């Protein structure tokens, strides 16, 4: 986690140990071309926010309650995650999910 980002205990339900550690790439890209692509880090709380809001269709208030954070904090985390997700899809960047070991 970056030095500027204060570490706060949050309830994260996604099991990051089951994520594929490695990279899957489009068939038309070689490994060397893949290495040249910019990488964007998606933190576990951002992934959890996306899952609650987009997959489980919870409201921001319900999602924030599930993560034991305020609605305002949830909105910031969710906004950051959506921006990263869209940036990667539109600009051919790689999303890396940071898993706490």
**Residue 27 placed within a domain:** no
> pTM, whole model, 2 decimals?
0.72
pLDDT tens profile 35-53: 888 999 999 999 999 999 9
**Residue 19 placed within a domain:** no
Q: What is the mean pLDDT of residues 59-74?
A: 95
Q: What's the chain's average pLDDT?
A: 82
Which structural domain, as residue segments, surrounds residue 80? 48-101
**Residue 74 placed within a domain:** yes
**The pLDDT value given to residue 10:** 73
Among the residues of 23-59, which ranges form H helices? 31-36, 44-50
**Residue 70 placed within a domain:** yes
Q: Which of 3-7, 26-30, 44-48, 90-94 is predicted most confidently?
A: 44-48
**The pLDDT value given to residue 53:** 96
Tell me the C-alpha distance between 57 and 89, whole Å: 21
Q: How many domains does the chain have?
A: 1
Residues β-bridged to residue 63: none
Whether the Cβ atoms of residue 76 and residue 20 lie closer than 8 Å to each other: no
**Residue 40 placed within a domain:** no
Q: Is the pLDDT of residue 1 over 80?
A: no
Whose CA is closest to 73, among 3, 1, 11, 2?
A: 11
**Residue 77 placed within a domain:** yes
């Amino acid at each position: 986690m970056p030095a500027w980002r204060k570490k706060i205990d949050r309830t994260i339900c996604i099991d990051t140990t089951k994520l594929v550690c490695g990279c899957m790439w489009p068939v038309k890209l070689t490994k060397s071309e893949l290495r040249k692509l910019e990488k964007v880090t998606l933190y576990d709380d951002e992934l959890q926010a996306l899952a609650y809001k987009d997959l489980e269709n919870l409201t921001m208030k319900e999602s924030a309650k599930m993560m034991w954070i305020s609605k305002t904090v949830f909105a910031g985390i969710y906004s950051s995650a959506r921006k990263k997700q869209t940036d990667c899809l539109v600009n051919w960047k790689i999303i890396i999910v940071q898993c706490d070991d």
